[in-house]
Amino acid sequence: MPGNKAVAYIEPHRVEVQTIDYPKLELQDGPGVNPANVGRQCHHGVILRCVATNICGSDQHMVRGRTTAPAGLVLGHEITGEVVEVGRDVEFIKQGDLCSVPFNIACGRCRNCKEGRTDVCLNVNPDRPGSAYGYVDMGGWVGGQAEYVMVPYADWNLLPFPDKDQAMEKILDLTMLSDIFPTGYHGCVSAGVTTGSQVYIAGAGPVGLAAAHSAQLLGASVVIVGDMNAQRLDQARSFGCETVDLTKDASLGEQIEQILGVPEVDAAVDAVGFEARGHGDQAGQEKPATVLNSIMQVTRAAGKLGIPGLYVTGDPGGVDAAAQEGSLSIRIGLGWAKSHTFTTGQCPVMRYHRGLMKAILQERCTIAKAVNATVIGLDDAPRGYQDFDSGVSKKFVLDPHNNLADKRAIAA
């Protein structure tokens, strides 16, 4: 039986590459596993040899100590891999298939799954609706920043690529299908982005850049990205976005007006989440509701807001007691007065990933270039987390089995 190296959260600002057990088609006890899930049989699952597995901004929230994640939790919910073992009850996924794994774990049987809401499956997480690999309070499914990982309900969850050779040529694009590309796209669809839309994207991290590229794919006429990180704003401009520098004294509305001639947009996307910081005279101060309030201010009446940025129910590092339980000072009256539509929550990846896969394979989009996909080895994950936390404009792709060696020079 091969070994299984994996990236584990140890304590705030520290991750470690450890050797863990090779996965079984049964959920084992371990850090973060709900007792009701221990021993859960997964004959409907498969074992994947991870080909590419990415570091996500959502992982960083845990690594910064901003959640209740337990020590030893194996991280990683952005997984692409090759099937090496097939469970007894799997009918259609075959050994050797190269597949994208939606970060949502879904049973395919419950009411929500049947209605397309795989983001809030009712059967995989005893704590609450919805689950994900390697994430706090998500049922304890082992993460995929590892050499091997178990994927349950494989016939339902996995998206097999039609041609493995073609897929490996575009693997840096296709690895984004597990999360950030559908998530950014979902933020834009939720915000009503369509042909001719003028769009504001709050945040130029990987999800924000994915949302900006998605807005272009959906036909937006102008995509404006706001951030306080000059390197990330440069990255947004590299594929045709307008930008606003939130370190400047001019307000967001004033900077948008300089671009569009009016201080408002048709649609806005929050790709920042609960660790948002103030700008202008509040620069550097944590203001967890600032992005939500600012996008209400700059979105036209009857406009829509997509909110794929993460908000949590438990934040030990919150600025006050209310923020520590996810209660924020949102100007709901402003949103009500402007008749805004809000969409929150995890992206239901399966709603979008097949179509986005086709767009990648037919060269209609270049998501890896937009987010600056950068390949590193699994052993380099601790450095990748540190660099990502420092604000570099890179999307780190881990290469557990050295399958992507030819991509490293391209990505460097």
CATH number of the domain to which 308 belongs: 3.40.50.720
Same structural domain, 269 and 129: no
The domain boundary, picked from 310, 344, 378, lies at 344
86 - beta bridge partners? Answer: 46
Domain shared by 300 and 387, yes or no: no
Each of the 412 residues of the chain gets a pLDDT tens digit; together they read 577 999 999 999 999 999 999 999 999 999 999 999 999 999 999 999 999 999 999 999 999 999 999 999 999 999 999 999 999 999 999 999 999 999 999 999 999 999 999 999 999 999 999 999 999 999 999 999 999 999 999 999 999 999 999 999 999 999 999 999 999 999 999 999 999 999 999 999 999 999 999 999 999 999 999 999 999 999 999 999 999 999 998 999 999 999 999 999 999 999 999 888 877 666 667 888 999 999 999 999 999 999 999 998 888 888 889 888 888 899 999 999 999 999 999 999 999 999 999 999 999 999 999 999 999 999 999 999 999 999 999 999 999 999 998 887 555 4
Instruction: Note whether 401 and 367 are same-domain residues.
Output: yes
Please identify which residue in the block is written with the tokens 């799954």: 113
Integer-rounded Cα Rg, in Å, for the chain is 20
Rounded CA separation 260/245 (Å)? 15
Say yes or no: 28 and 118 in one domain: yes
Do 275 and 368 have their domain in common?
no
Domain's final residue, options 317, 344, 371: 344
Q: Are the C-beta atoms of 103 and 178 separated by less than 8 Å?
A: yes
My answer on whether 329 and 365 are in the same domain is: no
* The model's pTM: 0.96
Question: 230 and 338 share a domain?
Answer: yes
The whole-number pLDDT of residue 287 equals: 85
Do residues 87 and 37 both lie within one domain? yes
* Tokens found for residue 297: 């201010």
Domain boundary residue among 329, 344, 359?
344
The Cβ of residue 103 has, within 10 Å, a number of other Cβ atoms equal to 27
What CATH number is attached to the domain comprising 396?
3.90.180.10
- 324 plus 357 within the same structural domain: no
Whether 330 and 377 share a structural domain: no
Half-sphere exposure of 357 (CA within 13 A, CB side): 26
Which residue range forms the structural domain that includes residue 278? Answer: 185-344
Domain identity same for 154 and 15? yes
Q: For residues 33 and 172, state if they share a domain.
A: yes
**In 2-111, where do the E strands start and end?**
5-11, 14-19, 46-54, 79-86, 98-101
Give CA 75 to chain center in angstroms. 13
Domain count, the chain: 2
Model pLDDT, residue 364 = 97
Return the pLDDT at 412: 46
At residue 15, the 3 state secondary structure works out as strand
By CB neighbour count within 10 A (0-12 exposed, 13-18 middle, 19+ buried), where does 348 fall?
A: buried
